[in-house]
Amino acid sequence: MGSNPINVLRDYLGLRREHWLGREQIESIQQRRYEAITDTARLLPYYRRRFESCGDSPSKDLEMGGFPILPKDDVRMSPNDFINPSIPRKKLFEMQTSGSTGTPLGVVCDQQTFEHRHAIGLLLAQDFRRSPRDLLVEISRKSDSFAPFAVPGLFRKKHLSIFLEESELFRSVRRLGPDSLGWYPSMAQTLARINDSLGRPVRLKSVFCGGEALSARVRASIEESFSCRVYEQYASVEFSALAWECPEEHRLHVNDSSFLIEVIDGRGKPIKSGTGDLAVTCFFNRAMPLVRYMIGDRAKWGRECSCGRGTRVLDSISGRSDDFIVLPSGKHRSAFAFNLLYYGEKIEGIWKYQIVQEREDLLVFRYVPEGRGLSGAGCADLRKRISKACLYENVKLEFEAADSIPREKSGKLRKIISKPAQRLRTGDAAE
């Protein structure tokens, strides 16, 4: 899907201006955009059915949310019911989420959506003090062709696989000589340790972290090792960057221009302070309008930021608390190495899953079967993928079919629970 740089720039300039407006102005923009996207959402088969069955029409009132909360499973079970019927199918394309909570989801976009995502990427780069000529190396599971601006030579990005052995990964980073690195915090300490052992360590301008919770200790160890600043972002494949760190404080500004982000309490009502589940309404994807979509993470509202931006602030996002796996060799593997239901690689017969690491050398694959369940070939395929994610170390794998995957006390569905990692954390806390 090509994007027009003029449209990207237009959206970027709009975003940049709006993030510095006063609270009231931002809220009135949000109200307008919320009404527009819910008008579009009413065309969807899902909402037509839902509103017909309750016999009343949804309120447009932003305070009350108006539309009901949208569970992720509703979209996953019948994604076609969420596609805007007024846009010709040939103008749409599909992206798939990483299934970071153990449940994958297809998201449909059109060109405008794609351009706005690029614009968000540009604003994020600016807030992270990334120069347009800087080379960013991303360490992730899959190469992502997404670059914030489709002009050659600008916002260059290279990809390194999370499946590379750590010392090889480090050599590749060194060879590419990036200005910035993008990675998951659980990998950072290992790479920082390798870096610290060198006579002439690698220096970077910045490190961008996301996907997992970033502790103050991990942040400090990366910053010290690479002599750079660490910036944190909160993004999802469904929506792109939802919130990112203020250049002046280690807290996350919500992208209020592109989304209505709500924190929902246990009774399903939005709250203005405290902790709850995140619901996201995307203003710019008219191809697949998702309204009050429960993204599966939890967050805590924070006090206003002193930087002058009018956008709201989150103190923390607790959803990304997936553990990492601790291998028998002591190496840490990010939960992202274990995205087993990824687009194009889906294993038939699994609806949801969770990996529980009992010991360094024992993983239990707990799953909720779908259709005819997991076949022998599916099992063999899973063994192969998990073994690769464990860097082929000697780790035993047991399967366990279940009726459901229990949620944590926090309400979060976790894909990876590692008892060795929890023990390590307890040890850290006792230090």
Interface with Zn ion (CB under 5 A): 246, 305, 307, 309
Query: In terms of CB distance, is 29 or 305 closer to Zn ion?
Result: 305
Query: Minimum Å distance from CB 317 to Zn ion?
Result: 16
Query: Minimum Å distance from CB 26 to Zn ion?
Result: 14
Query: In terms of CB distance, is 204 or 246 closer to Zn ion?
Result: 246
Query: Minimum Å distance from CB 125 to Zn ion?
Result: 17
Exposure class string for 411-429: b at 16+ Cβ within 10 A, else e = ebbbbbbbebbeebeeeee
Query: Minimum Å distance from CB 376 to Zn ion?
Result: 54
Query: In terms of CB distance, is 87 or 305 closer to Zn ion?
Result: 305
Query: In terms of CB distance, is 173 or 261 closer to Zn ion?
Result: 261
Query: In terms of CB distance, is 305 or 391 closer to Zn ion?
Result: 305
Query: Minimum Å distance from CB 304 to Zn ion?
Result: 9
Query: In terms of CB distance, is 307 or 364 closer to Zn ion?
Result: 307
Query: In terms of CB distance, is 271 or 307 closer to Zn ion?
Result: 307
Query: Minimum Å distance from CB 27 to Zn ion?
Result: 18
Query: Minimum Å distance from CB 14 to Zn ion?
Result: 19
What's the chain look like in SS3? CCCCHHHHHHHHHHHHHHCCCCHHHHHHHHHHHHHHHHHHHCCCHHHHHHHHHHCCCCCCCCCCCCCCCECHHHHHHCHHHHCCCCCCHHHCEEEECCCCCCCCCEEEECHHHHHHHHHHHHHHHHHCCCCCCCEEEEEECCCCCCCCCCCCCCCEEEEEECCCCHHHHHHHHHHHCCCEEEECHHHHHHHHHHHHCCCCCCCCCEEEECCCCCCHHHHHHHHHHHCCEEEEEEEECCCEEEEEECCCCCCEEECCCCEEEEEECCCCCEECCCEEEEEEEECCCCCCCCCCEEEEEEEEECCCCCCCCCCCEEEEECCCCCCCEECCCCCEECHHHHCCCCCCCCCCCEEEEEEEEEECCEEEEEEEECCCCCCHHHHHHHHHHHHHHCCCCCCEEEEEECCCCCCCCCCCCCCEEEHHHHHHHHHHHHC
Query: In terms of CB distance, is 53 or 306 closer to Zn ion?
Result: 306
Do residues 295 and 103 make contact, with C-beta atoms less than 8 angstroms apart? no
Query: Minimum Å distance from CB 282 to Zn ion?
Result: 23
Query: In terms of CB distance, is 309 or 352 closer to Zn ion?
Result: 309
Query: Minimum Å distance from CB 254 to Zn ion?
Result: 11
